[in-house]
Amino acid sequence: MPVDIWVDQFLHYLAVERGLADNTLVSYAHDLRDYGEFLEQEQVPPDKVTPMVLIAYLVSLQKQGKSQATTARHLASLRSFYHFLVDEKILPASPAAELESPRLPRRLPQVLEVEEVTRLLEQIQGDSPASLRDRGMLELDYASGLRVSELIGLDLGDLDLQAAYVRCMGKGRKERIVPVGGPALQWTSLYLREGRPKLLKGHAVRALFVNQRGGRLTRQGFWKILKKYARQAGLVKNISPHILRHSFATHLLQNGADLRSVQELLGHADISTTQIYTHLSREKIHQVYRQAHPRA
């Protein structure tokens, strides 16, 4: 049986039963199609793959100049793929079970200081529909710590201005409720009253944040908006689409929030993912100490 048939079954399982996002499905599909081409070139039947075949594939990725992170991602895709094949009793055992992922240095996410967040938000001036949208959107992102995909995926009914919360659908189609602070509620409310109706141009859409053509704002659209105001604010840091989310988590921990609560707010399945922000908080404490103590 061609490996492509198994890949299609696996992708269907990920989409239908696990509800993974489109971007994640595309990543799995790319990795596994690449792997299928390797098996074809090496003339290895899919049901005859051994750990040595997988090692040869990973070595071929490194010879192509792929980074350690990319190689580790491919191995993770293969592990999930073969785990599925074993669960479905298509194969008796996984050839990837005993392979270890390359150890990667854990990179700390870039965050903004509170003053830098304020400077960023204050770049959004005027009362044009686009300006009202941009201020409401970035205020809401910093107030809630949503992923960009969660933010642009919000519909009108997901934001409750009276109860001061937003409901979003996170990874694995898991729903969570996140409280929203006063400034974000005020600016988003103003956008809904005076900005969004003009941007819609007569279109009937459920999306909370819409573009100039009246359709749902895209991830790329959000990214362009964020970069524009970061440039205006003179922020020289490496701005990422998730920088307000990272800043949200770090500022909460710096101001006394407990790790479990931050984990819930971010929608992390594993608390070890959240713990990276404690490193940032400790770095900040050390920096303050070095600057303030006369014998540091």
CA distances from residue 275 to 37, 73, 103, 283 in whole angstroms, order as listed: 38, 21, 18, 13
In our burial notation (b when 16+ CB lie closer than 10 A, e otherwise), range 108-121 reads ebebbeeebbebbb
Question: In the 8-state DSSP scheme, what is residue 158?
Answer: G
Structure tokens at 113: 């200081």
Rg of the chain over all Cα atoms, to the nearest angstrom? 23
Six token digits for residue 266: 């971010």
Residue type, 95: P
293 is catalytic: no
Task: Pick the closest to residue 140 from 168, 173, 171 (CA basis).
Answer: 168
Name the catalytic one among 74, 135, 196, 245.
245
171 is catalytic: yes
Residue type for 84, please? Answer: F
Is 277 catalytic? The answer is yes
- Among the listed residues 133, 242, 246, 251, the single catalytic one is 242
Is 28 catalytic? The answer is no
Q: Which of 28, 35, 82, 277 is catalytic?
A: 277
**Crossing angle of helices 243-254 and 114-121, rounded to 10°:** 140
Determine which one of 171, 216, 219, 284 is catalytic: 171
Which of these is catalytic: 66, 119, 216, 268?
268
CA dihedral 199, 204, 208, 210 (to 10 degrees): -40
147, 196, 246, 251: the catalytic one is 147
Sign of CA dihedral 88, 94, 98, 102: negative
- DSSP code of 92? S
Question: Which of 117, 147, 154, 126 has its CA nearest to residue 251?
Answer: 117
Question: Is 107 noted as a catalytic residue in this protein?
Answer: no
Residue 242 bears catalytic tag? yes
List, in sequence order, the alpha helices (H) in the chain: 3-16, 22-42, 51-63, 68-87, 114-121, 129-144, 148-152, 182-190, 196-200, 219-232, 243-254, 259-266, 271-274, 276-292
Q: Which two tokens stand for residue 181?
A: 């602070």
| Catalytically active residues, by annotation | 147, 171, 242, 245, 268, 277
